[in-house]
Amino acid sequence: MIRRTIFMVILIAILATTAQAQLTRGQQPSRTDNWEFTLQTRYVASQDKQNDNGSSVSLQDDLGWGFGFAYNFNQHFNLGMDFSWHSINYTAVGVEEVTPHSATSYSSNLDTSTWSISGNYNILKGRFTPFISGSFGWTMIDTNIFAGYGTGCWWDYWWGYVCGSYPTTYGTNTTSSNLGIGGRFELTPKFFIRVAYEQSWLGVDGVDSRNVFRTDLGFQF
């Protein structure tokens, strides 16, 4: 995590220098009334959680992906929608409620996918600007732990309307939110890079917030 933070600081410094050089040679960018599209990486730090009954979970760090689009109402404010996903390796220990309290250790991937409404406020009008961001959305979580079989009917391309059983896994759907700060660097009138640090929360009891380091490659049109 420390190395990741140092890398982000160096990247910000390099891009800020480049953006300043571009600014001295050209005119101020115009974001007003323009749409933008971003390709995103979202690095989440590792996290350990220990409960009083002896159960625990250890989440590894992970590089997730996403994309989004937004509309710039003026030089400062844009509003849009983001889509992102992770597949996080984890190790967990479950403890039975009945006596004796035997423990079971297991590991798998925690798959999450999120869509959210997001907003950014660019503090400055220039090619380099710090910004603050926030989002609120919906996250689907799959633990990939086998939970039995379900039954249902669906439309199959080859066989038409069919019914049958299928394996299910434990998971949940919940609200999610993020708050972040970062910097935006407009290297050309159409291309920009955005880096940010975010705090992410899920609407699940007992789940702590997570640290997210984010880099976006953006195209304005």
Assess whether the previous peptide bond of 100 is cis (omega < 30° from 0).
Answer: yes
- According to DSSP, residue 34 is labeled -
pLDDT, residue 5, reads 53
Q: What residues are paired with 85 via a beta bridge?
A: 65, 113
How far is Cα 184 from Cα 190, in angstroms, rounded to an integer?
A: 13
Query: If residue 71 lies in a helix (H) or strand (E), which one and from where to where?
Result: strand 62-72
Lookup: tokens for 155? 């439309």
Answer whether 217's CB lies under 8 Å from 187's CB: no
- Return the amino acid letter for 148: G
Q: Are 32 and 75 in contact (CB under 8 A)?
A: yes
- Choose between 2 and 134: higher pLDDT: 134
Q: pLDDT per residue over 8-19, tens digit each?
A: 555 555 555 555
Q: Where are the domains of the chain?
A: 2-143+170-220
Assessment of whether the complete model's pTM goes beyond 0.85: no
- DSSP helix/strand/coil, 98: coil
CATH (one of 2.30.30.90, 2.40.160.20, 3.40.50.800, 1.10.10.10) for 2-143+170-220:
2.40.160.20
